[in-house]
Amino acid sequence: MTTLPQTTGKKLGLVIDLDTCVGCHACVVSCKGWNTENYGAPLSDQDAYGSDPTGTFLNRVHSFEVQPETGPAQLIHFPKSCLHCEDAPCVTVCPTGASYKRQEDGIVLVNEDACIGCGLCAWACPYGAREMDAAAGVMKKCTLCVDRIYNENLPEDDRVPSCVRTCPAGARHFGDLGDENSDVSKLVAERGGMDLMPEQGTKPVNKYLPPRPKDVEPEFDILAPYLEPVATDQKGFLGWLDKALEKI
């Protein structure tokens, strides 16, 4: 069995804004593309153009209609991938040590050469964040694009997970959640960021920002001065035309 590090130098992870996510699946497509081209083994698809297509994805977006206690129902788009938990049960249950948590940055990874495809980690993960690649016969999971974030050959703006770089709505944020002064930590503090299923005791590093209620009418008072007509009496040709039309 694999042991977890008692402490990690960083807690790299994602902060996902459920209020901003529009469910466009750009993060899913980007993740699939990047990891298929740059991962240890491509994320395979089976019967991709047939009647029963299946495939391996490291990130998925689920949509739910939620009925709050007051106000209208809301459609919530919920992106889900590995949460890189501090107390990751997928790591401790692995019989070969293939699943491990890095001490330097807290990222949970899989050594595919050591993975035997037993699926125990998938059973242990309460979030369903691991997927068996049917073609490779090994378990796959989000790596936080570790091959991007430390790649000095990429421009600095690109040294973030592919899903973060691609999100058109700016709903995904990446950083060190172990640093109270980091942008992601401040965002979590300001917006009341929450853990997914905290009762499981896994201490997920990734956080979710709750959606804001949609039953509050926007205030248009600030626009009132700009809605007034520029002039009450027309002059010149338009003034003459206006008066001529009134006589008809």
**pLDDT class for 142, splitting at 50, 70, 90?**
very high
Question: Is the pTM above the cut of 0.85?
Answer: no
Helix (H) or strand (E) holding 55: strand 54-55
Residue type, 53: P
* 171: its two tokens: 């709903």
Q: 213, 71 in Cβ contact below 8 A?
A: yes
Please classify residue 96 by burial: count the beta carbons closer than 10 Å to its beta carbon, then call 0-12 exposed, 13-18 middle and 19+ buried.
middle
Q: Which two tokens stand for residue 148?
A: 């991007």
Q: Which helix (H) or strand (E) holds 123?
A: helix 120-124
Name the residue among 167, 157, 215 with its Cα closest to residue 16.
167
Here the tokens at position 48 are 């991709």
At 207, which amino acid appears? Answer: K
d(CA 14, CA 179): 13
Terminal Cα-to-Cα distance of the chain (whole angstroms)? 92
| The total number of residues written for the chain in this structure | 248
Domains of the chain are 12-209 (3.30.70.20)
pLDDT of residue 237: 75
CA distance 189 to 191: 6
What is the CA angle 75-219-232, rounded to 5? Answer: 130
**Residue labelled with tokens 């709903």:** 171
Q: Tokens 């920002």 — which residue?
A: 209
* Contact by Cβ (8 Å): 43, 57: yes
Per-residue pLDDT tens for 19-37?
A: 999 999 999 999 999 999 8
Q: What is the DSSP letter of 194?
A: B
Lowest mean pLDDT among 92-101, 218-227, 231-240: 218-227
Please provide the average confidence, as pLDDT, over all residues in the chain: 90
Residue 56 pLDDT: 94
